[in-house]
Amino acid sequence: MIESVKAASDILAPVDGEIVAVNGKLADNPGLVNEDPTGAAWFFKMKIDDLSVLDDFMDEDEYAEMIG
């Protein structure tokens, strides 16, 4: 679950697996998500049950092209 000043929401992952690490730094510094979203502000690390599901995911360039 992720909480903000106005709401609390579940975190959904598009794959099945086991959470193996949680970023405790976010509890002390939630603003890190805005400061470094693709670096230090990771939410959790996950051991994915079936890596082949990632084959259908877009990479960063494909996503950028899709959103224009």
pTM above the 0.75 mark?
Answer: no
| Strand spans (E) along the chain | 2-3, 8-9, 17-22, 44-48
Tens digits of per-residue pLDDT, 9-55?
887 889 999 999 999 998 899 899 999 999 999 999 999 999 999 99
How much is the pLDDT for 27? Answer: 87
Residue 4 has pLDDT above 80, yes or no: no
Q: Collapsing DSSP states into helix, strand and coil, what is residue 9?
A: strand
Q: For domain 2-67, is the CATH number 2.40.50.100?
A: yes
Residue holding tokens 């805005």? 34
